[in-house]
Structure 1
Amino acid sequence: MNKIKFFTGLFLIFTAITFNSCETEPIDSAIDLDDFNQPTCNAPSAFQASSFINNNSISLSWVAGGDETTWTIEYGAQGFVQGTGTSVIATTTTYVVTGLNFSNSYSFYVKANCSADSGSQWVGPVNVQGVVVVNPNCPNPSNLTATRDTTTNTNVNVTWTAGATETSWEIQYGMTGFVVGTGTPVTSTTTSKLVSGVSATVAYDFYVRATCSATQNSSWIGPITVSAAITNPTTPVAYMNATVNGQPFTGMKPYYYPFTGLKAKQEISSLNEDRILVIQGDTDPLNPTPNNFVQINIKINKQYWAPGTYQVNPDNPTDPEKIISADIIIVNATNPWDTYEDELQGTFTITEFNPATKRIKGTFSFPYMLNDANDVVTGPFQVTNGSFDFECEDAIFLP
């Protein structure tokens, strides 16, 4: 018992000395207490930068970390010390930085503004290298124009003037504000191109560059913006609409929706644990009989949960690179259950992904082939005028 009291006394004396020492020790003036503040919102993700546009601008884009509505961008010469660069405020998840010199290299950072006096962690740097060598043998095109066709508002006529004697060009387009390199590419061997199958309700940016050889291209020229032809559709999109091989379907709901719900769902990839958003529409969701059934499934990897135009791929769960996939199931009197469909590459546009309203809206189109039990392949057939407007389940918006 005496030993216990002795050691207890030593402990109390040591504790008193330690606490007293802490109380009288001066605080190191070099320690910034703000360094211990924790961010109050999630940092943006998928931060990327385009190459130089018109030799003086760079387009930035990212995915919001939550429901923030403004972001701070800081940029400067590559390798600059943060706090010494140029800061700008963005109110959308895309921003075009102008007034740059294409011969210089730049670094870019972005953070979310959580409130008036707090922000997320910085994301970056993303570096863009300056153009060191300018190829005089592949000058830029000029006089780029892009206008919707007066007869068919889902077609756009693109024209330009050749910079020299080149005979091949690449056009790239996407939803207004997209980053060059993520858009839809098409090629042309003349100084004009009819781009078909765009949405009438979406505004697009168009760029063009010359292809002088297998290893030599001019700079991208653009963007030329084509406004939406229909800004206020008379018939709002309800769930999923699509025209399948010429037959229109409207108000398609998820399979067995009274039991599964009407919301877009989240699933986890069995291969790589990616988070996948699933949008499903069914022509007869409560009575899928063998003679009356069309179902469309769209699957989107989390890195593409943001407005933009993307490539839609065939449904192939064994290939993790198929990050946006489309799958169509068609059953009718002339198409028994042992017939299957082979989807081909198409386009997919997200016009709204809103954490505040928890809605996702957009358009899609893709071709497909039919292969019957006797391995007779017919097609291609088309899924056109695809559109969707779904509320998302809460899990999709969790970190």
Structure 2
Amino acid sequence: MKISVFSILIVVLILFQSCKTDDTIEETVEICPRNVEVGLEALTSNSATIKWLETQGFASNYEYGEKGFTLGTGIKGNTSDENVTLVGLKPDTEYDFYLQSICTAEIIGEFITNPYTFTTLTCYELYSENLGFKGYVENGDFNAFWLPKRTADEWQVAMAINGTTNPTESQIYTVESNTGNFNFPDIEPNVEYIFFVRGKCNNAYGDWVTKNINTGDENLTSPCIANATIVDNDGYYINFSVNSQSNYFVEILEENTEKGSGLLFEIEKNSSFNIEKRTFHNEYSEYIKADTNYDIFVRVACGSSFSEYSKVLTYRSPFANVVFFAESTIKDDQLLLSWYDFRYGFNYEYCQSYDQVTYEIEYGLQDFIEGEGVLIETEAVSTGSSFIYNLPLNILESGSTYEFSIRSVVNGNSRSSWNSLNSGACNQSNIGRFVFTAP
């Protein structure tokens, strides 16, 4: 059989292609996994800190820009950390953030398929209803004020005749960030004006917020808004202030009760309101019940009227003092029941006792049903570190077994659990009844 040269060439080519294909299959494609758990760590009006979890990489490339930007045209960077702070952002703007993992100097992963999107905070919050007027002051200037929910880097204010769209440069005054009012000179009485306010953030001013005013109005103390800022609410203290141009009023009342029936405090403007939880329930024992929620509201004075109530927070009073029988002895014809003087009250965040305490003792034959035993109310006798109550033995049937329970009554109206004790971390638990067999 004859074999042509052409046939041999075809066989060689087939073998070559087969070997090449096998080599390709055997190659290992190294993959650099994408970073995961991309999220927000901190956010302001002009910055954002983005965090993530690296999979196998030791560094990351990132790129960001306003929402919808084309990858490759944004702001680029590189970091070996698992977070990055982006600065120079615009307030109240939506941004896309892309992340790319770097596994080795030669191996770089893909950018995450979908960008992480976030929106920067509004630099300041100010609305027309937050603008108000106190009117003419002693030197003849006209006082106007504004109550922002979030302050700006600085403010610009102006007063212009009604109908003005934008104030002129000569009418604009620039004031510091922490300023909330301004005395305008040369304001005519009985004239319609527009009050202009705008804030500056990241070197750019926002839109003017305006409010109309007739300088002849008698009631110039609007708006009547109470914006409370909580300074402190840890385990022991409550401390807050109210952004107001006049005195403000704090009312503390039991949750879900009618306003006007609680504890009322008048606080001078620019002063803070403070509660020390460790003593408050004893200072106002005629009102405070144990283990009860109390709502704290504020409102401000507006001429002869008041603003709407604004809720600051809910405060929970401590648990009633714990108490349980420690031991008993027989002396003469008396059973001496005793319990420790535990000066504790309990709450989720702190421990503190009530000063006004009496006790209730209930007893009956063994396994008696709570509420069906004999109830004794007593202030007891203090021995320094404990209290004692003397129970005549002749009221007990000889040879019978009895059980005794005890609980505290604080501020005349709040009862603890029966046989309660401190279980640590400002919590309370219960132990069994005291058992006694009459001789």
**Higher Cα radius of gyration:** 2
Asked which structure has the greater RCO (Cα within 8 Å, sep 6+), the reply is: 1
